[in-house]
A = this chain, B = another copy of it.
């Protein structure tokens, strides 16, 4: 059969690439029939040039234009929900419902609509006006954004539809999506709707583009092109660091989500108070989506006591009793097994699991490992190996000091969680651990598991390196996520009729928040201001 086309410069085109690949159905362990192209360098170059042209054509466009596209696109995705869910379920083995249909797709279209609202309102761009000097500034687009989507959220983080896509478009940029190789059919179907929405809303050719795969060297070369404004990446640390290096070398901002084991500290008071409830919470969170969440709790730190032993046993039993889920791909299974092997090699002990198989299709048994505080602190780096899948490592500390030392030895993570006694029994230990954990994570949680990521303005789905590439940015939550894909534009003494609408004296829509002479206001700038 023929190879699927790529979306370049406004057209679905036959790829110039000569190699192809197929996705597989991990639940059935069979290859899916469609072939997808590996794009050649020439094709990538055409794609970047088209995005640069689109960027130029959109210069000065109001946020309204991008809002219209985003809303039209969200509507089209909703209308095609059944087809999208069917192909995503086949390519990822994630449950069609509730996960894909009732949770992830609504989240995705919700993100697109939140981005539309932010683009229409414009307050994300932080317009700032100093009337005394007549200097005015705001955030503006920075040019074509390349978005690399991950394997684990075929909709909500998809390069052509997810959070980075929505944020980059809301800031006024064209997007080149690099689809993930494990769900190219889902990505293609979304891109069909994206391109249709772009046509309906009169966006330029090259505004949204899709390629499926390149060679590793062409991928690095692509992000280093002078026309590229920024990069969004979610995926493995290893591949991400290659992208980061290529972008860094040419001074291109790259926002990367690389890895996280999301430590959970269960303090002794909480354990004595509600051990079984926490075991249940933990098991549900850790095995959800077969453990393939960026915020999966892969490390649990306990203080040694009778309760800690009982807790470990309770979780082990739950892991044995729980069904074994299907993994996203044979590659995930292989990396997962490698991760477990590295943890064992570092001295972790297998409590349960540790076997390939056990579930439908590509799978690996629910796996619980344990170690003690001294062993963890003896090899902190290896003990923090990310085993992406349905597993976790429990570390049992001898005393509070050791628990604190473990917190201090943690790498940067997306999240950090502390369960404590509902009254104040754990408060003094909490007060020692929380400040140390605070600096090592993006989101600090109390008494709940980290796997739920609300799309909220207050969310931080980011964290210190190596969880991401920069501690000050979030990939989820508007307007912060939009600001990543912007540059700061300052106008000094620029004549009034030449200013962007957001910086003219009159507030363009009455809702735009602006900093005028140090005061946040939605009012017009007046002579007496």
* A contact residues vs B (CB 8 Å cutoff): 56, 59-60, 128-130, 132-133, 135-137, 139-140, 142-143, 244-245, 248-253, 412, 415, 430, 434-435, 438-439, 442-448, 450, 454, 456-460, 462, 464-466, 469-474, 477, 480, 483-484, 486-495, 498, 513, 515, 518, 520
Contacts and interface: CB of A to CB of B under 8 A. Distances in A.
Most B CB within 10 A of own CB, among A136, A472, A483, A486: A472
A515 to B, nearest CB: 6
A439 B460 CA distance: 29
A431 to B, nearest CB: 8
Given A438-B489, A445-B492, A490-B443, A251 B466 contact: yes
Q: What is the count of identical protomers in the complex?
A: 2
A447 B496 CA distance: 13
Given A143-B439, A469-B251, A133 B458 contact: yes
Contacts of A447: 493
A529 to B, nearest CB: 14
Contacts of A489: 438, 442, 444, 460
Contacts of A490: 442-444, 458-460, 474
A444 B488 contact: no
Given A445-B492, A457-B518, A460-B490, 18 more contacts: A56-B435, A59-B435, A130-B456, A133-B454, A135-B458, A137-B459, A137-B460, A253-B471, A253-B472, A415-B492, A442-B490, A444-B494, A446-B493, A446-B498, A447-B493, A450-B492, A460-B488, A520-B520
19 contacts: A59-B439, A130-B458, A133-B454, A133-B458, A135-B454, A135-B456, A137-B458, A142-B471, A438-B489, A439-B487, A442-B490, A444-B492, A447-B493, A458-B490, A460-B488, A462-B488, A471-B488, A480-B488, A513-B520
A498 B444 CA distance: 11
